Amino acid sequence: MTITEGKQLATGTIGKRLTVLGVAILIVLFIYRFWLSGNLYAGDIGISPWNDQFEYQLIPSSWDSYSSTGLGEPSYSVAWLHIINTFPRLAGSILGNFPESNVFPYFVLYLILLCLGIYRISTVFRFSLHQTYVSALVIASNSYILMVTAGGQRTIMIAYALAFIIATELIRNTISDLSVTSFRTDVKNSIWCGLLLLVLSNIDLRIAYIMFLVYGWLLIIRLAAAGLSFRNIWHTVRTAIFSGGVFIAGNLYWLYPTLVYPSTGSGAFSSAHTSSAAVRFFSFADFSNAISLLHPNWPENIFGKTYFLRPEFLLIPIIAYSALLFNISFRNRVGRDKMVTWLIPVLIIISVTGTFLAKGTKEPFGFIYIWLFSVIPGFVMFRDPTKWYVLIVLSYSVLIPFAVRGIYRSAAIRRIIRAFLPNIPDSLIAIATVLTFTVIWLFTVRQAITGTLTGTFAQREISPEYGILATKLTNVNEYFRTLWVPMVQRYAFRSVTHPAVDLSEALDVSSSSAVISWLTSSAAKETVQHWSVRYVIVPLDSEGDIFVKDRVFDPEKFNETVAALDSIPWLRRIDNIGRLPVWETYSWDNHIYLGYQSDLVYQRINSTHFRVNIPPADTVRELTLSERYDPYWSAVTEDGIIKPRRSVDNLNVFDVPSGVNSLDLKYLPQSALEKGLMASLILVSAYVVLYILLKIF
């Protein structure tokens, strides 16, 4: 090849790749054009539109003092969320005066990764432009990811987009002939795959878990294709050891404290997350939903509201599985055909597996999911089985483009068409086939095209009262909580100084009547005082998802709640903030108090460490930390450690001996987390250095 020919080939390759990327960008922007307004709020975003004064730390915290119920809960088992949760802070430091509470950076990152994922799928599988277009439609606009993005599930949507990039790297690094793979190459590829999965795990551990299973399947398929010789088995085991070692080493910072300090029945490992009843409740999709790539809540995305199967979705699996009928053979540019010909059957197996897992406990064979949930390590993360839809989308994003190509290249199809249009060229047959698929696909997700989806796809006016409340609370430095009855609305302001208590969550009840019944009881006044609650607020329910009857906002329920709170003698109605009803309690305890002495002097180091000065006394005193009871809280004194006991209000009470004038309240898992973090940094750095050395030399 001459230099001129080489330049022409390179230019042609670059031009094709830019065209592929352009197709991906156009499809993605068309589907998500409603986001351009920047008005992105939905139920699962977890960040209010106001500048929540969250505490950003370089080191993850093992205790969450202001999210969830507002009374605190362990967070070391989900510390892997730390990086993605601080992403707006990073974006703000790069872009300048960018609100830390703004969720727009998450959606921008998702769109960028989605385009790159489509591009990588297209280039690795050497798709034509027709196939790239079809794959882009499947990846960017299936009902699963549209429901995820409409609901604002930040970590899942970003991990979903990144999963396609990582999947192509896993495929590229595992499709190799074991008989010619050197030790150096094997270790280098293993470390690279482990690092990719590690990055994914720090965005969403559940999606990383799924991709690790995909990686395992690919290794097994490679071994089966190469033959079960001792050498090949050892190569496969070695690959798994190195990749798994990187993955585990990078996650030691949360794995270590989770193992050292087992679950106390709250936080991420409460019975609401780990019981078989919970997984049965969350198994909304049935087999027909899963195989048809139909999200059970499509299109309204109302939690728990499922629909009958929409027959148009049945065309999707028919097209996808027809890929086998066209005897498609994927040709890798470096000629490793023996390994690559397994890919289509492997993708079929992956899609079938994803289908059975995505339906959860529904028949057929629903008992298998319960068994997996109870026995397999890590499966407890999948109480909501719809996360397994990722496997189905991953498979269909390759199977459907191959099937569409097989249809328009089929001799039988061409004969049928030319019986009516004898002079039609092959190119028009291809275009007509792709357009037909486009009509079918867009009809299934027509709500996304017409702009009738809710959540982040809908334009909404946020009640200004919430902004006024946020300003009012921000201007007060004193510590206290706000109590939301019956629950916190998504637009509520919360911060380290003013956590928002979700009363339904705190009481573990689901009905408004149960919340009101407790609040009007004789025990409520003292409990609310001990919870450091200053303001009691009834949300406006502008989204119509709190005070509902037959899934529609019911003003009578709202008025009944307001009237009930007006009748409580220890609440004083203050001037409304617009239409937002607010009450003030007559007294509220400090975050840390000694008996009935709420003006105790203490210093908050962070959410897991408080330094407290105690007035001298000759008797044992009760020191209360107004955080949800957890046995891993400790009072550290010069004479030793004092363990807490549970108060009647489910708070931490320490019996402080006489003579103790100062102590440190510490959450013990934080020390284990920091040790694990140090180990993770050292080990991952060593793996990275080893990878670079293997790459260079």
pLDDT, tens digit, for every residue of 516-530? 999 999 889 999 999
The answer to whether residues 394 and 269 belong to one domain is yes
Closest-CA residue to 98 (of 153, 43, 51, 35):
51
Mean per-residue pLDDT for 439-446? 95
Residue 473 lies in a domain: no
Q: Where are the beta strands (DSSP E) in 14-109?
A: 63-64, 73-74
Residue 225 lies in a domain: yes
pLDDT for the residue 303 = 66
pLDDT greater than 90 at residue 192 = yes
Q: Which domain holds residue 217?
A: 3-52+101-455
Residue 435 lies in a domain: yes
* Crossing angle for the helix pair 143-150 and 389-409, to the nearest 10 degrees: 140
- For residues 162 and 51, which has the higher predicted lDDT (pLDDT)? 162
Signed CA dihedral, 260, 262, 266, 272: sign only: positive
pLDDT for the residue 269 = 52
Band (327; pLDDT cuts 50, 70, 90): low
The answer to whether residues 438 and 574 belong to one domain is no
Mean per-residue pLDDT for 311-327? 88
Band (441; pLDDT cuts 50, 70, 90): very high
The answer to whether residues 391 and 502 belong to one domain is no
DSSP 597: B
Residue 285 lies in a domain: yes
The answer to whether residues 45 and 151 belong to one domain is yes
The span from the CA of 356 to the CA of 353, in Å, is 5
Residue 486 preceded by cis peptide, ω within 30:
yes
pTM for this model (two decimals): 0.90
The phi, psi pair for 108, rounded to 5°, reads -65, -45
How many other C-beta atoms are found inside a 10 Å radius of the C-beta of residue 437?
23
The answer to whether residues 416 and 502 belong to one domain is no
Final residue of a domain: which of 527, 548, 579? 579
Q: Token pair 């019944």 is at which residue?
A: 517
Inter-residue contact 313 to 294 (CB < 8 Å)? yes
Final residue of a domain: which of 579, 597, 614? 579
The answer to whether residues 544 and 450 belong to one domain is no
The span from the CA of 368 to the CA of 370, in Å, is 5
Residue 311 preceded by cis peptide, ω within 30:
no
What are 194's two structure tokens?
């482990």
Q: Give the whole-number percent of the chain exceeding pLDDT 90.
A: 48
The answer to whether residues 395 and 496 belong to one domain is no
Which residues in 268-305 are b (16+ Cβ under 10 Å) and which e?
bbbeebbeeebbbebbbbbbbbbbbbbbbbbbbbeeee
Beta bridge partners of 565: none
Final residue of a domain: which of 579, 601, 634? 579
The answer to whether residues 432 and 505 belong to one domain is no
DSSP secondary structure letters along 376-408: STTGGGGSSGGGGHHHHHHHHHHHHHHHHHHHH
Residue 606 lies in a domain: no
Closest-CA residue to 48 (of 506, 470, 477, 578):
470
Residue 601 lies in a domain: no
The span from the CA of 629 to the CA of 421, in Å, is 76
The answer to whether residues 404 and 500 belong to one domain is no
> Domains in the chain: how many in total?
2
Residue 508 — left, alpha, or beta (φ > 0 → left; ψ -120 to 50 → alpha)?
left
Band (11; pLDDT cuts 50, 70, 90): very low
Is residue 666 helix, strand or coil?
Answer: strand
The answer to whether residues 124 and 200 belong to one domain is yes
Residue 544 lies in a domain: yes
- For residues 74 and 88, which has the higher predicted lDDT (pLDDT)? 74
pLDDT 10s digits, 223-250: 887 788 888 888 889 889 999 999 999 9
Q: Give the type of residue at 221.
A: I
pLDDT for the residue 174 = 81
The span from the CA of 432 to the CA of 426, in Å, is 10
Residue 364 preceded by cis peptide, ω within 30:
yes
- For residues 545 and 376, which has the higher predicted lDDT (pLDDT)? 376
Mean pLDDT lowest among 271-280, 333-342, 433-442, 630-639: 333-342
pLDDT for the residue 10 = 42
pLDDT 10s digits, 17-55: 788 888 888 989 888 888 876 666 666 666 666 655 556
The answer to whether residues 212 and 337 belong to one domain is yes
Residue 512 lies in a domain: yes
Mean pLDDT lowest among 359-363, 376-380, 407-411, 461-465: 461-465
In angstroms, the Cα distances linking 348 to 221, 289, 586 are 13, 17, 65
Mean per-residue pLDDT for 66-70? 78
pLDDT for the residue 200 = 96
Enumerate the H helices of 283-425 as residue ranges.
Answer: 287-291, 315-321, 337-340, 343-358, 366-375, 389-409, 411-420
Band (102; pLDDT cuts 50, 70, 90): low
Mean per-residue pLDDT for 311-319? 94
The answer to whether residues 287 and 381 belong to one domain is yes
The phi, psi pair for 350, rounded to 5°, reads -65, -40
pLDDT for the residue 210 = 96
Q: Token pair 């195989």 is at which residue?
A: 291
